[in-house]
Structure 1
Amino acid sequence: MSTVDDTRAFGRELAAVLRAGDLVVLTGPLGAGKTALAQGVGAGLHVRGDVTSPTFVIARVHQPDTAGGGKVPMVHVDTYRLGGVRDPLGEVDALDLDATLEDSVTLVEWGEGLVEQLSDEHLEVRLDRRDDDARVVALIPRGGDWDARLAGMGAR
């Protein structure tokens, strides 16, 4: 993927296999495209409002645009700022993500090592940015039926 628009398009494609109860952990360095991917997922899920980085509010709930075909809310979390707190796991627990997990698609930026305990099954989406600014995506299924759901998508 060579552009931000390509990353968003991949997010829309990924949204087609997501369903309520899914936990998606987005990992990668700054500028790799985590928020752009979340924007694409939000577009693919047909959620209301703009999907922007929730860095300062930590978490945002985007309700489905039912008139536009949306069926499931998306919870978009950015735990980047929690990296410097004394008890990041406690801070994640205080977000009560488990309360919305069953009914929503939950995307967590910078969540590696912090949110996996929320579900025995989750998808890690590892994004990287090469020297030529192209983005590379690896999909890493963790349990459940992710392998079957992701068949044909592969890494990019």
Structure 2
Amino acid sequence: MRHLGARVGGLLLPGDVVCLAGDLGAGKTTLAQGIAVGLGVEGPVTSPTFTIIHEYRGRIPFYHVDAYRLERPEELEDLGLEEYIFGDGVTVIEWADRVTSLLPDNYLEVSIQPLQGEGRLVTVKAVGTGPEKLVEELEKECEY
């Protein structure tokens, strides 16, 4: 997951939003850590489950959001989610299905499903028109 995340991170541009879906333990945080590597973030990247948002510096600012503990989407809105989503960085949102009313029109949706053993089925989908090129680039990079 980390290797795939690094490939994704290497293709992301300022303003891109990546929404991660999957059950507990599916690999969302590990994928986000890889994205951080691809964005040039140095040092540890930890889950923002309790703080909701972590900010990191890299070649592009990286904003890691975890909506798992939110009781309602407005809590994330109160924390200034729009400033991150429409800012100069890349925003990755774990448990984005809990805040769909706050998501932009264009984003990359990554769904992770554990398979038997240690494998994962990863599905990448462009929502809106913006991320379509990103999906095409990922398909070229990740043919395996």
Tell me the TM-score normalised to structure 2 length.
Answer: 0.89
Which of 14, 26, 41 is the equivalent residue of 2:8?
14
Q: Is the aligned partner of 1:32 residue 2:26?
A: yes
1:117 corresponds in structure 2 to: 102
Q: Which runs of 4+ in 1 moved over 6 A?
A: none
2:40 corresponds in structure 1 to: 46
Which of 82, 90, 94 is the equivalent residue of 1:98?
82
Q: Deviations over 1:53-109 (max 9, x none)?
A: 111111100112xxxxx2x10000111111xx2xx1110111212112221100000
- CA shift, 1:151, in A, is 1.3
Asked if the contact 1:17–1:150 (Cα under 8 Å) also holds between the matched residues in 2, the reply is no
Aligned residues: 140
Structure-1 separation of matches of 2:102 and 2:35: 22
Asked if the contact 1:27–1:34 (Cα under 8 Å) also holds between the matched residues in 2, the reply is yes
Aligned alpha-carbon RMSD (Å): 1.7
- 3-state SS of paired residue (2:96): coil
Return 5+ residue gaps in structure 1 as ranges.
Answer: 1-6, 65-69
- CA spacing shift, 1:116–1:8, aligned 2, 3 Å: farther
- CA shift, 1:145, in A, is 3.2
Q: Is the aligned partner of 1:139 residue 2:120?
A: no
> Which amino acid in structure 2 is aligned with residue 145 of structure 1?
G
Q: Deviations over 1:20-74 (max 9, x none)?
A: 111111000011100000000000101243111111111100112xxxxx2x100
> Which amino acid in structure 2 is aligned with residue 77 of structure 1?
V
Tell me the TM-score normalised to structure 1 length.
Answer: 0.83
2:138 corresponds in structure 1 to: 153
> Which amino acid in structure 2 is aligned with residue 63 of structure 1?
R
> Which amino acid in structure 1 is aligned with residue 61 of structure 2?
P
Structure-2 separation of matches of 1:111 and 1:119: 11
2:66 corresponds in structure 1 to: 78
